[in-house]
Amino acid sequence: MSITNLIRFNNLRGDIFGGVTAAIVSLPLALAFGVASGVGPLGGLYGAVCVGFFAALFGGTPTLISEPTGPMTVVMTAIVAGLTASNPDNGLAMAFTVVMLAGLFQIVFGSLKLGKYITLMPYSVISGFMSGIGVILIILQIAPFLGQAAPKGGVLGTFTSIPQLIANANPSEAILGAVTLAIIFFMPKKLKKLVPPQLVALIVATVISLTVFQGVEIRRIGEIPIGLPPLQLPTFSPGQLTVMFVDGVMLGMLGCIDTLLTAVVADSLTRTEHDSNKELIGQGIGNIVSGLCGGLPGAGATMGTVVNIQTGAKTAVSGLTRALVLLVVVLGAAKLTQPIPMAVLAGIALKVGIDILDWSFLKRSHKVSLKGSLIMYGVLLLTVFVDLIVAVGVGVFIANILTIERLSEMQSSDVKLISDIDDDVRLTDEQKQLLDKGQGRVLLFCLSGPMIFGLSKAIAREHNAMQEADALVVDLSEVSSMGVTASLAIENVIRDAHDKELQVYVVGASEKIHRRLQKLGLFDLIHPDHVLNDRTVALQQAVEQVFAKEAIV
């Protein structure tokens, strides 16, 4: 695998500056996501280091910044909670094994060159899914934001406990959380360009907690071990093997979607084009290493990527620099993070959840498309209250069915059975004269465009309307492709015509379609001289044969 096309040193100053700035942006988010997931702040930091370094080294998007993201954290939170509940002794180690599995699946996706297909989902489904993840992240931060431990039952448990959480809120921690949100929301834009508001909120709120609330009991990060992490070897439980496999696929797919959507953003800012498959392989390697080191799973992060590009980065050196800066923090400055209040990290994560919500589409989805809006809200609700895989599966299924129905309706008008020149179809004067001369005894069955399975109903409708005749010309000259279902529908037309002793002609079948019809055995029913490339010739032969038959009679 070549990495020289990404790592160049012709923009060293811009790349180093971009990497350092991206590291400053990443630090509070990594801590917040680590705590939110249940893995701990160190897991968030190691996820940012491992995924960020190896995705930059082996990935296919030079300026992409990879780290734990809101969507990945939400899924990881559910995985950690589920596995530790079923296996308290090895649950956390199994969760890290799921991260490794996710990375392995991403490498497989990239190796099979499936990158271009990953994001081929309707926008209404992506919007509902991402907004649902944003809602989950917001709900999960309510308890720590108010200074309390998270209730049992995950999202549903927290949602039903909101009144109780508000009633029992810790005033000091709630104030710190509110201060954090206020700084992030209302910090002047000029200052935001100089320093990330998340970092300012982290420092200011922590200082307030140590001065104004001195002596008040506040839940803080606490001691973080310094040094390299112990390796987390893959751990499996026979009873949870299927669950871990499914979780690995889900986490890997989400990471692919999250990353490739961010890569598209990077392309638009840099006027370049990323390598999707190579990027997935890089992300996979990063997640495998992160799982081995006990880190969170990661993906391409929009905020870090945009900051990286805007501060001058052009190559993967920026991503490597960012990861190394964070590693220095982990190894040497981790003690400085000990007094950070949990409510402050909850406020930072809560703001990320708010940002994940697709406000633009939520506001106007009903104006753009009522069906699209219903799909989006349906996926959102399923994501929050049922399951992420179910949400995406149901959303994609319904969206695709509606799309196929719409395409089928549009193309069904191109399926026509013509018996005279009054039908609305493009015919030459000679062809019109031949049909007129046939006096309704010659039928022209016209099809055009891709014959998807949704058109089988239209083909059957025209077939059922077939009147008494002596010859049938099946014109496939404008058919670009033909699915199995449509092929079988056309087979029914030809076999029925053959059973009624009609002379059948096939016109303009491409090589691929010809092979499909041949495999169905249709050319055993059709005289070799009746397989033609020209509609006019076929009509001429059909008319002549009809008149010849009448003369004999």
How far is the C-alpha of 475 from the C-alpha of 451, rounded, in Å?
Answer: 13
- Minimum mean pLDDT range among 12-26, 272-286, 479-493: 479-493
Q: Per-residue pLDDT tens for 93-116?
A: 999 999 999 999 999 999 999 887
Tokens linked to 317? 């050196």
Q: Per-residue pLDDT tens for 443-460?
A: 888 887 766 655 666 666
Same structural domain, 316 and 449 = no
Same structural domain, 374 and 420 = no
Residue with tokens 């992420």: 388
Residue with the larger pLDDT of the pair 423 and 534: 534
Same structural domain, 188 and 334 = yes
Quick check: 414 pLDDT over 60?
Answer: no
Q: Is residue 458 part of a domain?
A: yes
- Minimum mean pLDDT range among 103-112, 202-211, 382-391: 382-391
Same structural domain, 339 and 461 = no
So what's the pLDDT on residue 479?
82
Strand partners, 473: 444, 505
- Alpha-helical segments (H) within 195-301: 197-211, 241-270, 276-292
Contact residues for 220 (Cβ-Cβ < 8 A; gap 6+):
209, 338, 339, 340, 341, 342
Q: Is residue 185 part of a domain?
A: yes
Tokens linked to 534? 């020209």
- Is 46 within 8 Å of 294 (Cβ atoms)? yes
So what's the pLDDT on residue 4?
44
So what's the pLDDT on residue 3?
46
CA dihedral (489, 490, 493, 499) positive or negative: negative
Domain stops at, among 402, 434, 449:
402
- Minimum mean pLDDT range among 44-53, 75-84, 324-333: 324-333
Same structural domain, 73 and 186 = yes
Which domain CATH number covers 466? 3.30.750.24
Which helix H or strand E contains 504, and what residues bound it? strand 503-507
- Minimum mean pLDDT range among 195-204, 269-278, 328-337, 447-456: 447-456
How far is the C-alpha of 276 from the C-alpha of 168, rounded, in Å?
Answer: 48
Same structural domain, 287 and 421 = no
Q: Is residue 176 part of a domain?
A: yes
Same structural domain, 207 and 287 = yes
So what's the pLDDT on residue 464?
65
pLDDT confidence band for 317 (50 / 70 / 90): very high
Return phi, psi of residue 5, to 5°.
-75, -15
Parallel, antiparallel or unpaired: strands 503-507 and 442-448: unpaired
What percent of the chain stands above pLDDT 90?
Answer: 33
Quick check: 323 pLDDT over 90?
Answer: yes
Look over the chain and give the mean of its residue pLDDT values, rounded to a whole number.
85
How many folded domains does the chain comprise?
2
Q: Per-residue pLDDT tens for 226-269?
A: 777 788 888 888 888 899 999 999 999 999 988 998 898 888 88
Q: Domain range holding 532?
A: 416-552
So what's the pLDDT on residue 57?
93
Give the Cβ contact number of residue 234 at 10 Å: 15
Q: Is residue 410 part of a domain?
A: no
Domain stops at, among 380, 402, 424:
402
Tokens linked to 511? 């090589």
What percent of the chain stands above pLDDT 70?
Answer: 90
How far is the C-alpha of 179 from the C-alpha of 173, rounded, in Å?
Answer: 10
So what's the pLDDT on residue 233?
85
Same structural domain, 51 and 77 = yes
Parallel, antiparallel or unpaired: strands 503-507 and 531-532: parallel
Same structural domain, 363 and 220 = yes
- Most confident stretch, 77-86, 263-272, 499-508: 77-86
Residue with the larger pLDDT of the pair 160 and 546: 160
Same structural domain, 26 and 173 = yes
- Minimum mean pLDDT range among 59-63, 226-230, 304-308, 337-341: 226-230
How far is the C-alpha of 77 from the C-alpha of 60, rounded, in Å?
Answer: 28
3-state SS, 36-91, equals HHCCCHHHHHHHHHHHHHHHHHHCCCCCCCEECCHHHHHHHHHHHHHHHHHCCCCH
So what's the pLDDT on residue 553?
46
CA atoms within 13 A on the CB side of 419: 11
- Minimum mean pLDDT range among 205-214, 247-256, 287-296, 474-483: 474-483
Domain stops at, among 402, 429, 444:
402
Residue with the larger pLDDT of the pair 415 and 540: 540
So what's the pLDDT on residue 523?
83
pTM confidence score: 0.76
Residue with the larger pLDDT of the pair 215 and 294: 294
